[in-house]
């Protein structure tokens, strides 16, 4: 899932550890999300969006192929 997390985090002047502490996860989790190696839980996605005062859709783009929705 594509995301805007690194840019928002860097704009806010935060390290991965700072952001992780703010939302209650490990730095490794933030790193994995930023590198598109881990999709956050719905709860974590909402926490991150709330932290950055944006919507989940502003922060994450699932890039869903509409032709594959019913597979």
Split into its structural domains, the chain has a count of 1
C-alpha 68: how far from chain center: 23
Q: Give the pLDDT confidence score for residue 66 in this predicted structure.
A: 65
Contacts of 66 (CB under 8 A, 6+ apart): none
The CATH number given to whatever domain includes residue 42 is 1.10.260.40
Provide the token pair at 10: 């860097």
Q: What is the C-alpha to C-alpha distance for residues 59 and 39, in angstroms, rounded to an integer?
A: 12
What pLDDT digit, counting tens, does each position of 2-61 carry? Answer: 899 999 999 999 999 999 999 999 999 999 999 999 999 999 999 999 999 999 999 998
Residue 64 lies in a domain: no
Model pLDDT, residue 1:
81
Asked, for residue 10, whether it belongs to a domain, the answer is yes
pLDDT confidence tier of residue 63, bands split at 50, 70 and 90 = confident
In a domain, 36, yes or no: yes
Question: Is residue 18, in this structure, part of any structural domain at all?
Answer: yes
Half-sphere exposure of 1 (CA within 13 A, CB side): 18
Range of the domain at 39: 2-59
State pTM to two decimals.
Answer: 0.86
pLDDT of residue 51: 98
């Amino acid at each position: 899932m594509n995301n805007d997390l690194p840019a928002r985090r860097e704009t806010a002047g935060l390290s991965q550890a700072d952001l992780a502490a703010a939302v209650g996860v490990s730095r490794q989790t933030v790193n994995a999300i930023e590198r598109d190696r881990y999709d956050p839980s719905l709860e974590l996605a909402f926490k991150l969006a709330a932290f950055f005062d944006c919507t989940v859709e502003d922060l994450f783009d699932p890039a869903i192929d509409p032709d594959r929705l019913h597979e």
